[in-house]
Amino acid sequence: MSTIALEPLFHLPRRETPIHRSKPNKFKPFFLTCSSNPTFRQPHHTPLSPALAASVTETPNLHSLQCSHTFFTKTFPINQTQTVEGKIIVIIDREKDLKDWVLRVGCNLPGKWILHWGVTHVDDVGREWDQPPRDMIPPGSVPIKDYAIQTPLKKSSLSAEGDTFHEVRIDLKPNNEISAINFVLKDEETGAWYHHKGRDFKVPLVNYLKTDTNITVSKRGFNLWPGNLWQISNMLLKSKAGQDDSSESRGPKQKNSQLEGFYAEMPITKKVSINNSINVSVKKCFESEAVKNLLYFETDLPGDVILHWGVCRDNSRKWEVPPAPHPPETGAFKDRALRTQLQPRDSVKGSSALITIGEEYSGFLFALKQNETTWFKYMGSDFYIPLSSSSSLHSGKREDKSKGSEVTEIASQETSFSSFNGGIINEIRNLVMDIYSKNSPKTISKKAQESILQEIERLAAEAFNIFRSSIPTFSEATTVAPEATTVEPEAAMESGILTLDPEIRSATGTGYEILCQGFNWESHKSGRWYMELKEKASELASLGFTMVWLPPPTESVSPEGYMPKDLYNLNSRYGNIDELKDLVKSLHEVGIKALGDAVLNHRCAHYQNQNGIWNIFGGRLNWDDHAVVADDPHFQGRGNKSSGDNFHAAPNIDHSQEFVRKDLKEWLCWLRKEIGYDGWRLDFVRGFWGGYVKDYLDASEPYFTVGEYWDSLSYTYGVMDYNQDAHRQRIIDWISATNGTAGAFDVTTKGILHSVLERCEYWRLSDQKGKPPGVVGWWPSRAVTFIENHDTGSTQGHWRFPGGKEMQGYAYILTHPGTPSVFFDHISSRYKTEIATLISLRKRNKIHCSSTIQISKAERDVYAAIIDEKIAMKIGPGHFEPPSGSQKWSLAIEGRDYKIWEAS
């Protein structure tokens, strides 16, 4: 039985609640008492290990050192995210009385797990999720509207001591005529949803849940059911009469197959936060007439830890190697720094070191290395320890309050970084020169040239992946202007600090665009969605839409289109290529642009390699496993490491390969010419570097592009944090990596609106600087605002907008800057007229993606703002009236808990 890879579905939103582990004890200051026979004590009064004792006794002249009080001590946090592996187990078995069956779903990873599940009845047509009968619902379950149940997993009574296995048990009643159980698993601690290959898990029951004799009279056999687990179930169904397991025996006419029970394990990975720290204490010690600095380091980082260190003489913080003697287990690194192995501590986890430095040095610089690939710095810079009490005691920016100190600080950091990493730069240069020297400039082969370029691309992708967390942010100015500490992207472009290539088309179209998502999760089921949408083209134009986002057009393993296979085969479940062309032509005739949904991150293979792994592609783009990234363990790729996050349900494409980029650029240009697409909605752009996106957009020259950079918001104990700057910064970073050639969906704004409307906390709609708290507050021309889409709403409903409050959401995004997007289901509902009125109001007042906004109120029960001094709006049950004065306001539209006024 083959295993099934299980990872979070990245189309879906994931709330990340911090994982709270027992925190390590805070380090106490290191006190050292010296005498003619000194005794050294570590924090927590733990005796020194033999290794550390050796390092102490071998430090010269310690016996004569007389030490003063500790003048510096600081604990630096070291936070990292690690991926832990576990499994989900699905079992169907008899109860002890052998009468009824029970379904057990369990997980052996720590977490607060919730089973989100529903049932499909035998007679259901078109609807896959329903609430189960009451006698099936376990205690402690919570109903989700009328289509699902959420049941918490509890620690199994069969768990061994120390085991973290949790499970939920569901009684299967034979007389309920249930054909399948559908489920996904949610980790409440992180907000992550775990699916299988982008779809819900389905356990089909049609072959045995009918009567006590397990006679099957289902209307669908396994050969007709597209569930994800049916293969496993099928293998374990045996005929009473001993028939073979043929497709005929599994069909609707099967009379006497029964379940013998099954057990399935599916791998699962989860990212957990690991919080460690390093404590540094410094004492002044006197030896005859000389003064020494005694530095003590201790950390609770596990495993072997290396202290990569040096000293500096002035504020330039230029790395320098001090003269010997040095502690044991110390070696030189290219005459630029020293490396000291930290020694284990007795009875206390972690390691420590003791270093003596002369008084001629003003500072101590270091970084930590935990293994071959893991380095720790402090906020992107080297750790810095002052060696005099008059120095700044902060390892970050120095507190020089003179004019221009910020610029000086940046320059000094660059110098430190340059000196520290000069060896790496030389290694890259030597590597390239070594390849080049094998061939004279006149005879160098094309293969050698490609090898050089690919190696540089690989190193660039790895460097981006390693250092992306330390990319300068827009929330702290990348370029420091006089008397300014923050430069937002929009303001930076206006002032000339941040510029875009004038030949690069921006992502905003005219700036007055209004987008409609022209499908939902079920649209493929009709088989003729293109033709159905064509009939609505005139209506969409009359509602005021300027662009329509169309579903993925390619042949796909999943009917919704997000598991593409042959990119040039445009016969999909939505229609064929001719129908797609006809739809786009009809949209153009009524003045609407068409955006294609391009899935560039991953692609499903046609063939297996010699190990049985699906990573060989067919069709016109017949790539081999060199097109697959090397760091996804599921698909054995032979490309380079991924420049983003892996989507584990399908082979992740290696965009650092030139042949891949060349083929994808040709494909996008072909779609533009052959189909007539005007731009792109890019799927799962977290999976690859934004610089590659710029390359694709430069080639295909779209009118408008928006990327799906879906990231997790920040929560504490299940409650959304007020400050979501880190979340929107990650989206901004991706947009910046594209050089501003693409916008991104404003997931930050959607998430904050959820909390605002669910908890009546309208104060959240103003950030600490009085701006909108989402991407729209920092880079509005690149923010595509929305409240729902095919993943969050529709029949999936995994992050559904607060029910009954959709119009407050639309009143917000359709009056504010940014490019608003409206979900198809909402213009096919009772909200249609109100949405049309809001769109008309926006267009009449010429509100655009970069309109100005003045927030008038952001209180518990009301939010109000004035946009371009043309529109005043408020949402929430609280009171607001636009200010009276020279400008007169007239009420334009009023609905449930929202009002909008126009300036007369």
In the chain, what's the furthest Cα-to-Cα distance?
100
Question: Could you say which of 625, 683, 711, 834 is catalytic?
Answer: 683
564 prior amide bond cis, ω within 30: no
Query: Which amino acid is it at 484?
Result: A
The pair of structure tokens assigned to 198 is 């982008």
Specify whether the CB–CB gap between 285 and 40 falls below 8 A: no
Does the active-site annotation cover 683? yes
- CA 609-611-612 angle, 5° bins: 70
Residue (of 232, 216, 200) closest to 120 by Cα position: 200
Q: Is 122 exposed, middle or buried (0-12, 13-18, 19+ CB in 10 A)?
A: middle
Question: Could you say which of 708, 711, 761, 825 is catalytic?
Answer: 708
Specify whether the CB–CB gap between 286 and 261 falls below 8 A: no
CA-based radius of gyration for the chain? 31
CB neighbours of 503 closer than 8 A, spacing ≥ 6?
Answer: none
- C-alpha distance from residue 206 to each of 177, 213, 216, 830 (Å): 8, 14, 7, 37
Q: How far apart are CA 515 and CA 595, in angstroms?
A: 9
Does the active-site annotation cover 869? no
- The sign of the torsion formed by the CA atoms of 747, 753, 758, 760 equals positive
Q: How far apart are CA 834 and CA 848, in angstroms?
A: 20
Count of CB atoms within 10 A of residue 14's CB? 20
Show the 3-state SS of 579-638.
HHHHHHHHHHHCCCEEEEEECCCECCCCEECCCCCEEECCCCCCCCHHHECCCCCCCCCC
Residue (of 706, 658, 854) closest to 771 by Cα position: 854
Q: 442 in helix, strand or coil? A: coil
Specify whether the CB–CB gap between 634 and 648 falls below 8 A: yes
Q: Give backbone dihedrals phi and psi of 18, rounded to 5 degrees, phi first.
A: -55, 140
For tokens 């969409």, the residue is 540
> What are residue 282's DSSP bridge partners?
72, 295
Q: How far apart are CA 611 and CA 604, in angstroms?
A: 17
> What are residue 608's DSSP bridge partners?
614
Residue (of 863, 902, 903, 855) closest to 880 by Cα position: 863
The pair of structure tokens assigned to 557 is 């393993």
Residue (of 678, 727, 720, 728) closest to 701 by Cα position: 678
Q: How far apart are CA 204 and CA 252, in angstroms?
A: 13
Q: How far apart are CA 630 and CA 636, in angstroms?
A: 6
Q: Is 404 exposed, middle or buried (0-12, 13-18, 19+ CB in 10 A)?
A: exposed
DSSP assignment of 393-434: --SSS----STTHHHHHHHHHHHHHHHHHHHHHHHHHHHHHH
Q: How far apart are CA 227 and CA 300, in angstroms?
A: 47
CB neighbours of 797 closer than 8 A, spacing ≥ 6?
Answer: 144, 145, 147, 148
- C-alpha distance from residue 260 to each of 93, 94, 240, 254, 311 (Å): 8, 9, 10, 16, 70
For the annotated catalytic residues, the residue numbers are: 683, 708
